[in-house]
Structure 1
Amino acid sequence: MTTPYPNYISPEGFAKLRAEYDHLLGVERPAIVEVVSWAAGNGDRSENGDYLYGRKRMREIDFQLKRLSKKMKDAKVVDARQQGDKSRVYFGATVTIADEDDNHRIVTLVGNDETDIEAGRIGWSSPIARALRGAAIGDLRRVMLPSGEKEYEVMAIRYPD
């Protein structure tokens, strides 16, 4: 499925995808191949749990490798430290926003594969991130959330050094 926006990702996020891919390909898959080969040599495969589980796990690993490969191929690595206009919200920005009740929240716009709500890392294509894109300090942005419409004011914008 092709998305209408690039699959932005930070250098750190891309490195994590790459490390997961390398681990699956270089460690987990060879270990499972070894188990399947050993189990296949034990005779009747139809009732051989090691063989059946190993084949199932190998399919899962192959699926995951294919998924990670596609993500890495489609990824556009963006280093937020090199952002030219740091007065506006773009990919990689850490933004302090305040709602109508003056509740402050700090969010960082990251790639969709790097989202971690608990850590304040919101995906680039999330409703809040889409509303904040291009905003400057003092700008008001309306966001349609599942709980209803909310308005946020951009209080501060920071990029990594």
Structure 2
Amino acid sequence: MSRAFVKDTDADAVEDLPDRPVSEHPNDVTAEGLAQIEAAVAASQAALGAAQVAGDRAAMSQASRDLRYWSTRRATAHVVPDSDDTTQVRFGGTVTIVRDDGRKQTFRIVGEDEADPAKGTLSHASPLARALFGKTVGEVVPAGSGEAKIVAIGPGGKR
């Protein structure tokens, strides 16, 4: 077989991983969210350094990709200050809803990278958060396949 049809492989070569997708939504974050992003940048830098020392090209590729993502998120982060205004649902504030099935849930609306609904934080870009913004206690919003009534609005800050 001709060498023209044989792919040359370099055992040390590792292709760069594709970049992690970056959301098209504004990168609004809480102060805690910015701290989380900065910690992720530092962790990615440390992982890259360790991979370089070890000569682990796959780990270098992974760490480089993570560092590019977190550096972009840090560069575009816009810290939204906490507000004490509890008259309407706002970024960084907490909101308690009661769903059609009777479930009562409280969420703090935060940035995309810091959101974890299981821990009570909800991304500002989520459909539920977008439906809640600007609403007041007593209003009903679409929530999944049903609806939810806002029963309490609290200030921002760490939970």
TM-score, normalised to structure 1, is 0.76
User: Against the structure 1 CA distance between its residues 24 and 138, is the aligned structure 2 distance closer, same or farther, given a 3 Å change threshold?
Assistant: same
SS of 1:152 mapped into structure 2: strand
4+ runs deviating over 4 angstroms: none
SS in 2 for 1:29: helix
5 Å-filtered alignment, 1:139-150, equals: 139-143=139-143, 145=144, 148=145, 150=146
* Amino acid paired to 2:48: R
More helix by share: 1
Number of matched pairs:
136
| Percent identity (aligned) | 29
The residue identity in structure 1 corresponding to 2:30 is S
Match of 2:49 in 1: 30
Checking the alignment, whether the CA contact within 8 Å between 2:27 and 2:112 is kept in structure 1 is yes
Q: Could you report, residue by residue, the CA deviation over 1:55-93 in whole angstroms, capped at 9, with x for unpaired residues?
A: 11111111110011111112111122xx26321001011
Aligned alpha-carbon RMSD (Å): 1.8
Say if 1:111 and 1:74 are closer, same or farther in 2 by CA, change over 3 A. same
User: Are residues 62 and 101 of structure 1, via their aligned partners in 2, closer, same or farther at CA, if it must alter by over 3 Å?
Assistant: closer
**Amino acid paired to 1:23:** A
- Distance change (3 Å), C-alpha of 1:140 and 1:58: same
Is the 8 Å Cα contact of residues 84 and 156 (structure 2) preserved in structure 1?
A: no
In 2 relative to 1, CA 2–127 (structure 1 residues): closer, same or farther, beyond 3 Å? closer
CA shift for structure 1 position 133: 0.5
Which residues of structure 2 form unaligned runs of 5+? Answer: 1-21
**Residue 77 of structure 1 corresponds to which residue in structure 2?**
79
**CA deviations over 1:105-151 (Å, ceiling 9, x no partner):** 111111111111211211111111111010111111123x2xx2x11
> Aligned equivalents of 1:156 and 1:115: distance in 2?
20
